[in-house]
Amino acid sequence: MQRHFRPKLRLTGIQWALVAALLLEVILFSIESPAFLTWVNLMEILRFSVELGLLAVALTPILITGGIDLSVGSTVGLVAVTFGMAWQHLHLPLLGALALALLVGCLCGAVNALLIAYLDLPALIITLGTYSLYRGIAEGITRASVSVTGYPSGFLLLGQGYFWSIPIQVFVFLFLLVFYAVLLHRSKIGRALYAIGFNAEGARYAGLPVRRYLALIYLLSGAVSGVAAIVYVSHLGLAKSDLGTGFELQAITAIVIGGTSVFGGRGNLFGSVLGLLFLCVLQNGLHLLAAPSEATGVLTGMLLIAVVATDLLNDKRPALSERWMRWKKPLLVAAGAVVVVLAVVLVGLERSSRSEAGAASGPRRPVIAVMPKAKGDPYFISARAGAEQAAKELGVDLIWDGPTSLDASMQNELVESWITRGVDAIVVAVENKGSISTVLRKARQHHIAVLTWDADAEPDARDYFLNQATPEAIANTLADEGARLLNGKGQFAIVTGALSAENQNQWIAFIKARVAERYPQMKLATVLPSDDDRDKAFSQTQNIMKVYPDVKLVIAISAPAVPGAAEAVQQSGGRVDVIGLSLPTICRPYIHSGVVQTIVLWNTRDLGYLTVYAGWLTSQKKIAPNATTVSAGRLGSLEIKGSEIILGRPMIINKGNIDRLDF
Amino acid sequence: MNPRIREAGLLLTIVALMLLLAWRTTGFFSAANLTDLFLANMPVMMIAVGMMMVILTGEIDISVGSIFAISSVVMGKCASTGVPIWLSGLIACAVGVLLGALNGRLIAYVRIPSIVATLATMVALRDGLRWYTQGSWIQGLPAGFQWFGMSQSGFTGLCVVAVVLITGLTALGLRNLRMGRAIVATGSNRMAACAAGIDARRVVFGVFAVTGGLAGLSAVLNSVRFNQIPSNSGLGLELKVIAAVAVGGAAITGGSATMTGTVLGVILLSCIGSALTFLGINAYWEKAIQGGIILIAVAADTLKLQRRDHAKTLPA
Amino acid sequence: MPTNLLLRASAITKSFAGVHALKGVSFELAEGEVHALVGENGAGKSTFTRIVTGALKADSGELEICGQKIAHHSPQQARALGVAAIHQQPLLFPHLTVAENIALSLENGEPGWSVNWKRRYEQARELLHRVGVDLDPKRLAGSLSMAEQQIVEIAKAIGAQAKILLMDEPTALLTDREVDQLFRLIGQFRQEGVGMVYISHRLEEIQKIADRITVLRDGRTIACKDAADVDRGGLIELMVGRSLASIFPKRDVTLGETALEVRNLNNPRLGLHDISFSVKRGEILGMAGLVGSGRTELARTLFGLSSCSSPIYLNGKPVRIGSPAQAIGMGMGYLPEDRRQHGLILEMQLDENISMASLNEVSRWGMVQRGKEARQGEEYVRELRIKANTASVAAQTLSGGNQQKVALARWLAIHPQIMILDEPTQGVDVGSKSEIHELIVQMAERGVAILLISSELPEVLGMCDRIAVFRDRTIAGTLLRDEATQAGIMALAFGHADPLLQEAEQA
């Protein structure tokens, strides 16, 4: 006879494998990087897991009922901007704004609950709809461009402060975790949720209030997403409509890795937490090892398949079980082995590439860490070439890593891991001023040289800003160039990157100001987003030409948008001029064919060179406090204005000079 | 649910939108605009055909955007290294089929739930591509690359023929080929399908491979519209496609979907974005409106459900 | 029988996860023979049929079909050899038409890649005509009633021109008229030389049509006898290994107050109209009628699974029941017809299944007290003699009869005042069946008012104090225990205009 009492919350085979893999991961990373296994770093991992963790906790019961909620990431965005706007634009007191924002979170959950639980509609499609709807409303009410910063320090404590050297939001997470654990694994409701997951009709016949409980968990998921949004805003010090993008899939990944079945009925909260920790440790460890960010995605994908496949083989299906029983243990080991092997391969790759880069070994070489806004952007890719050149010249190690797409939180996370790693200089292209300054100040406290490039942080958060050209200068140059082409009068349109991209919105504002001031006869017809996608810029420009026939000039202010717009003009054979901000390489054919008149840019390769050179100089304290010039290798002597190192004026690139530029 | 009601509803919505556009704007119905609209949404339409079959079998594929991106890059890499363009296109399509087959393998034979398997391949393939290309675009494509060396209108004609053939033949095949009926049967009742001697695993494997192939083909046709290839194309494509198929009335549980509905769903969703620009409505609201359409389309079903008659018959 | 052997199986064994399902089963089927296969649930009947149809592979033993030795075959090969099966639960494609459902199972004969729709519809019409029903072949299978779906299954088997026809409880969902139709078809097949394996729990049916009867018990062949040589009592003895004293343990109970009363109940959504009846404490009210005559619909309405505006009188007070939770709160329990879909959560443990409708009783402050729940589960497992080592095994590991006892235990645990039992013994083996009958009688003795829905007329006649007969979604008439006969019930169930009535009365 078995014991009568058997707690629900016990480890399944796959979860044991996950525990083992997690331990291996920790051991591996602490061997490779001494900074990994420190209290401070572990706490940072926790801090960065909280927002995702809250969503994973809220989604677990939903997956257990066989449902899904894809709208949680969008809810985070909507609640965040509601909170920010209510506080800053409606001038509500902070607590009032908080209440309103949480109410909006509940409302988001309630819409899902109503449609899924009471109208019996498929959760996947409904939440796909609200995924788009909530993000759309967030973008609509902020016109995608507002980002609210400047919160009182008391509020920021929630996301940035410590209590007994534990990040404060961890307590929020623990509280909700316990709440959900009791709900799911101890209460009547949790029991009913499992029954619903196995067989919803059967649960209804047993008299369980199926609809009410389903509604409850979708409602709670909205509310918890709201809490996650508030924590996130406080953590970043910023509320913006694109917060939480992609969180839903990351949370689902963590849950599924933790052994919860998407078909419902099977799984538990412990697995979700385990899956979450596993992913967050993996990400942090890879950052510390300076492995490229893309590795995380590749590893996560493979792991997901390995884990679920292993779990399936353990499935006690009558036809299979006999054969697989014998293989059970080796397979569990295999799941762990997959992770370890992958990690080892990665580390090996990374080491070999590093030792190749720095052939001349000697005393410890300085490490300069440079971060672009987005790694895939052609603009930053061309800067990287310059950075590598400088690193070679100076004999320093270069870490070049950044988010794969615009992501303020990811930037913070990377800087944190660089601080832990103990680099000599950090050079950041700032995505969002408000959110990154705190962590940069922390880096300075750790005596790391901090510089910013491309866009600046708060002046006190960095040593120098590498000023390639101010937003105002770029905007003015573009406006002046446009006015020259239009002879000062007529309509023009702007194709921007993402509607929520901060520096592009800045440029638009300065262009508007310049036009209003100097060229009153010029009129801005429309601003359309291209989502940094060449194809979308292409069709947007086609639309502009048809809807606004008076537009004679398109200003495209995102690197992929210029060739997109140019191709549209070229294919239509229309007489519209294209100017913009882009790279010579991808615009060369259009400049030659005369579709693109001018692109405005500085020498990105020189800028990349300067990031490493100036980072090295600053870390070696080779710039005197009151110097007005600095000698930067092959760039010669550059001017220092206050705490800004000036690269030069923006270049105007046209037919005349494009073939002399190789970036 | 009688699919005809949904199709009629969609058609009415589209007609209403068209009337609004005809009344308030000029130029929307110009040949040039319709051509542009068609070309811009050709990938969505093609992949929607595959996605419809995947959903018919009761599965889902969220990796099509990543497959699209990889096929684009493969196409460019081949063409820029001197492989003949037609061969590059074939190779890119083959890569699409291969990646689709990988999905199919994981789902049909390893029995990983499709949403998990394609989530994994979506993330892994996308980041793998980023890692490999480091974000750089493919340039230096040969002279005859754009439009396969044809004229622009000739190429457009080719695309129209391709889309009409794919949708038409798939619709006919689903209705009249034993293979097509096997797809519907598998989604309708997996156990009964096995009992009827249908190899359900092969069917599922097949639809994923076909969907991968269609993603590859649409990537090829989309790439040759330009003379350089970005490495991050197709972001969010999967959601557009799934939304269109769902709006078209496909039951996410499988067994029920129509080609007419899917085509109408694609038309409605792809017109919205452009229509907003023509109507002068701010682009900020586009996502919200698309989300609203999905919700209304799906929720409309329940309203009709209340008045359904008992004898469901399928017009022959 | 001297004619050719169609099927010969000898010493077939099969085990699942170390548990033997078949331990040396031997079986023969000759041309033109109806060979019944009987046994309690879990005796191995279904496993054996699945091996013959190629859905499972035997571990050892010999299988010979039409003189051909078979080592390992697929469902397709089995079909090609002329094996067809009619399952207890129709296995159809709900999104496809009747014609396609039939055609898909016959595709072996269809040439080419494409579908000949005209031929499919003609073929379907012809086959349905042969079965003797008028069903539009263009209707979607999902819109058919269960009985109609079973008829399509039969049409499929006819179309396959099977030489060997396996029928697993084919009459479970059929009305008596359709059963007669089926038996006529079986007679026809016999003439054509088709061999039929007939599995059923309805022994009277078996005695009516079978030539030979093979009894399985615990995966072994116990006996193979000519149908003429064995009576019902003998069969039951062979099946359970012991003799059953009396089949129906109904005892007289003094009736109490009226517990449940319904006056002119209408539920347009389910088509119910003008239903009036009452049931007293301790009384068992039988509900007979054809499948689809409104009995299950009434049960669903009473239990709050389908909303309805007519009031229901509980102990004389009018109440409205909007949900099963409310119904349970008022002391009502409902054992649904479909055990696997509605009666149990198969993946969950016995104790969890048992406490599911009475979670409040094992909970404190909304938290489930696992210890208390497990103790309650063990108690019921012991009390109802459920064959399980412990209450913490999943319900799906039990046989049908034991599962049904667990489903019943769930409702015993709420201590109901009114209990609705919908086909409580359908698909249940003989041993469990009489145990369930005993439990029903015990409930009545405790003063529970019971509504017993059953399609098995002997059960209704043997168990009930009064019998309400349904026709066209209302009560056609109510008979007292003493005045009720099978013929009388059928007369009410069919209505007097029915030509089959005379036939039934003669029988």
For position B223, which CATH number holds? Answer: 1.10.3470
Assign A115 a pLDDT band (cuts: 50, 70, 90). Answer: very high
List of domains in chain C = 5-94+163-240 (3.40.50.300), 258-506 (3.40.50.300)
Higher local confidence (pLDDT), A185 or C218? A185
Give the pLDDT of residue C498: 44
Give the pLDDT of residue B305: 47
Find tokens 């490999």 and name the residue.
B132
Is there a domain that residue B312 lies in?
no
Q: Which domain holds residue A486?
A: 471-601
Disruptive mutation site among A535, A538, A540, A662 for chain B (greatest number of B CBs within 10 Å) = A535
Is there a domain that residue A642 lies in?
no
Distance of CA B93 to the CA centre of its chain: 15
Percent residues over pLDDT 70 in chain A: 90
Give the pLDDT of residue A231: 93
- Residues A136, A250, single domain; the answer is yes
Which one, of C476, C497, C488, lies nearest residue C294 by Cα?
C476
Give the pLDDT of residue C108: 54
Cβ contacts (< 8 Å) between B301 and chain A: which residues? Answer: 121
Around Cβ B175, how many Cβ atoms within 10 Å?
15
Give the pLDDT of residue A362: 52
Interface residues from chain A to C (CB-CB < 8 Å): 1-2, 4-8, 182, 186-192, 194-195, 198-199, 201-209, 265, 316, 318-319, 321-322, 325
Q: What mean pLDDT do residues A573-589 have?
A: 86
Domain count for chain A, please give it. 3
Is there a domain that residue A36 lies in?
yes
Single-letter amino acid, residue B255: G
Query: Which token pair is C252?
Result: 């007289």
Average pLDDT over chain A, rounded to whole? 84
Give the pLDDT of residue C40: 67
Average pLDDT over chain C, rounded to whole? 83
Is there a domain that residue A273 lies in?
yes
Report the relative pairing of strands A577-580 and A551-556 from DSSP bridges: parallel
Percent residues over pLDDT 90 in chain A: 29
Instruction: Test C95 with B187 for CB contact under 8 angstroms.
Output: yes
Domain boundary among A552, A583, A601: A601
Instruction: Test B123 with A253 for CB contact under 8 angstroms.
Output: yes
Cβ contacts (< 8 Å) between A378 and chain B: which residues? Answer: 135-137
**In A114-167, which ranges are continuous DSSP H helix?**
123-142, 153-160
Q: CA B25 → CA B19, C27, C30, C108, distances in Å?
A: 10, 80, 80, 58
Which one, of B127, B278, C364, C367, lies nearest residue A253 by Cα?
B127
Torsion B34-B36-B39-B43 (CA) sign:
negative
- Residues A542, A482, single domain; the answer is yes
Give the pLDDT of residue A6: 43
- Residues A140, A257, single domain; the answer is yes
Give the pLDDT of residue A288: 79
Give the pLDDT of residue A365: 83
What's the whole-model pTM score?
0.85
What digits encode the pLDDT tens for the residues C96-124? Answer: 889 888 888 776 555 667 778 888 888 88
Assign B278 a pLDDT band (cuts: 50, 70, 90). Answer: confident
φ, ψ (nearest 5 deg) of residue C181: -60, -45
Distance of CA A101 to the CA centre of its chain: 22
- pLDDT(A130) > 50: yes
* Residues C69 and B286 sit within 8 Å (Cβ to Cβ): no
Disruptive mutation site among C52, C86, C96 for chain B (greatest number of B CBs within 10 Å) = C96
- pLDDT(A221) > 80: yes
Cβ contacts (< 8 Å) between B193 and chain C: which residues? Answer: 93
φ, ψ (nearest 5 deg) of residue A243: -65, 140
Domain count for chain B, please give it. 1
Instruction: Test B284 with A538 for CB contact under 8 angstroms.
Output: no
Is there a domain that residue A6 lies in?
no
* Residue of chain B whose alpha carbon sits nearest to that of C54: B195
Touching B (3+ Cβ pairs <8 A), the chains are A, C
- pLDDT(A339) > 90: no
- Residues A620, A500, single domain; the answer is no
Q: What mean pLDDT do residues A511-536 have?
A: 89
Q: What mean pLDDT do residues A640-662 have?
A: 81
- Closest residue to C370, CB basis, from A5, A203, A321: A5
* Residue A290 to residue A401: CA distance in whole angstroms: 8
Q: What mean pLDDT do residues B21-44 have?
A: 89
Touching C (3+ Cβ pairs <8 A), the chains are A, B
Q: CA A67 → CA A196, A235, B100, B280, distances in Å?
A: 10, 30, 25, 38
Q: CA C435 → CA C44, C104, C459, distances in Å?
A: 21, 42, 13
Is there a domain that residue B315 lies in?
no
Give the pLDDT of residue A313: 67
Give the pLDDT of residue A316: 46
Q: CA A535 → CA A564, C206, C391, distances in Å?
A: 6, 72, 62
What digits encode the pLDDT tens for the residues C284-332? Answer: 999 988 766 888 899 999 999 887 878 899 988 999 888 899 999 999 9
- What is the least distance, in Å, from the CA of A508 to any CA of chain B? 15
Assign A29 a pLDDT band (cuts: 50, 70, 90). Answer: confident
- Residues A573, A616, single domain; the answer is no
Give the pLDDT of residue A604: 84
Percent residues over pLDDT 90 in chain B: 52
* Residue A513 to residue A494: CA distance in whole angstroms: 14
Cβ contacts (< 8 Å) between A563 and chain B: which residues? Answer: 226, 228
- pLDDT(A174) > 50: yes
Instruction: Test A4 with C392 for CB contact under 8 angstroms.
Output: yes
Which one, of A467, B148, B204, B193, lies nearest residue C75 by Cα?
B193
Least confident of A72-81, A350-359, C45-54: A350-359
* Residue B19 to residue B15: CA distance in whole angstroms: 6
Interface residues from chain C to A (CB-CB < 8 Å): 16-18, 56, 305, 323-325, 327-328, 334, 336, 341-348, 352, 356-357, 359-360, 363, 366-368, 370-371, 374-375, 378, 389-390, 392, 410
- Closest residue to B316, CB basis, from C113, C115, C117: C117
Around Cβ A84, how many Cβ atoms within 10 Å?
26
Give the pLDDT of residue C503: 45
Grouping H, G, I as helix, E, B as strand and the rest as coil, residue C469 is strand
- What is the least distance, in Å, from the CA of A213 to any CA of chain C? 13
Is there a domain that residue B310 lies in?
no
Higher local confidence (pLDDT), C413 or A643? C413
Assign B161 a pLDDT band (cuts: 50, 70, 90). Answer: very high
- Closest residue to B197, CB basis, from C76, C93, C117: C76
- pLDDT(B73) > 70: yes
Instruction: Test A186 with C367 for CB contact under 8 angstroms.
Output: yes
Q: What mean pLDDT do residues A17-31 have?
A: 80
- What is the least distance, in Å, from the CA of A331 to any CA of chain B? 14
What is the gyration radius of the CA atoms in chain A, in angstroms?
27
Disruptive mutation site among C49, C87, C100, C114 for chain B (greatest number of B CBs within 10 Å) = C114
What is the gyration radius of the CA atoms in chain C, in angstroms?
24
Interface A:B, Cβ pairs < 8 A: 226
- pLDDT(A326) > 50: no
Instruction: For residue A22, give the CATH number of its domain.
Output: 1.10.3470
- Residues A465, A484, single domain; the answer is no
Give the pLDDT of residue A454: 83
- Residues A592, A615, single domain; the answer is no
- Residues A492, A384, single domain; the answer is no
* Residue A528 to residue A545: CA distance in whole angstroms: 12
DSSP annotation of B27: S
Cβ contacts (< 8 Å) between C325 and chain A: which residues? Answer: 207-209
User: ∠C44-C47-C48 over CA atoms, to 5°?
Assistant: 85
Give the pLDDT of residue C502: 45
* Residue C478 to residue C261: CA distance in whole angstroms: 14
Q: CA A149 → CA A155, A166, A227, A432, distances in Å?
A: 12, 25, 18, 10
Interface residues from chain C to B (CB-CB < 8 Å): 55, 74-76, 79, 91-97, 100, 104-105, 107-108, 110, 113-115, 117, 121, 136, 138-140, 142-143
Is there a domain that residue B222 lies in?
yes
Which one, of A176, A200, A221, A278, lies nearest residue A70 by Cα?
A221
What digits encode the pLDDT tens for the residues B194-234? Answer: 877 788 999 999 999 999 999 999 999 999 988 889 888 88
Q: What mean pLDDT do residues C411-434 have?
A: 88
Percent residues over pLDDT 70 in chain C: 92
Q: Which domain holds residue B294?
A: 3-304
Cβ contacts (< 8 Å) between A321 and chain C: which residues? Answer: 16-17
Higher local confidence (pLDDT), A10 or A413? A413
Q: What mean pLDDT do residues C237-259 have?
A: 72
Is there a domain that residue A431 lies in?
yes
Assign A257 a pLDDT band (cuts: 50, 70, 90). Answer: confident
The continuous run of DSSP H or E covering A617 comes out as: helix A604-619
Distance of CA A579 to the CA centre of its chain: 29
Give the pLDDT of residue A320: 38
- Residues A164, A182, single domain; the answer is yes
* Residues A378 and B136 sit within 8 Å (Cβ to Cβ): yes
Cβ contacts (< 8 Å) between A132 and chain B: which residues? Answer: 239, 243, 287-288, 290-291, 294
